[in-house]
Structure 1
Amino acid sequence: MKEKGIEIIINFIVRAVLGAAVIFFVNQFLDSQKIPVAVGLNPFTVLTGGILGLPGVALLYGIVCWEIL
């Protein structure tokens, strides 16, 4: 039971770190292409990436794009 909890925590941390890295590098790429879409790196976006993974990061970019329309 304890091992399952540790596995869930490690999984969350890995997804949060990877999600933050994806946000950082996508923001850098979009900025270099002069595309005004950027997701801020803050505890809420890292939490979203940690809980939902890559689809959560895509959702954040979708929300930002929706706001531009």
Structure 2
Amino acid sequence: MDEFSSGKSWLLETSYKFFIICEATVQEEERQALAAADTDAAKNVIATAEVSRKTIPTYLESRNPIYKSL
């Protein structure tokens, strides 16, 4: 009976360690996904700002004929 108890204990301990490793892996993947989403969002904001800056004329550009001819 002692062999069964020690085997059961080993199995429970191994299962618990496996669970902890899986949980840590999932948490790391979630962290990486959030970081990637933040990076993509920042890139989109920068790209949008650059496009807006290029397409919206400043006050002087819209009023000055020299700027209009360029």
Superposition TM-score, scaled by structure 2 size: 0.47
RCO higher in structure (CA 8 A, sep ≥6): 1
Between Structure 1 and Structure 2, whose CA radius of gyration is higher?
Answer: 2
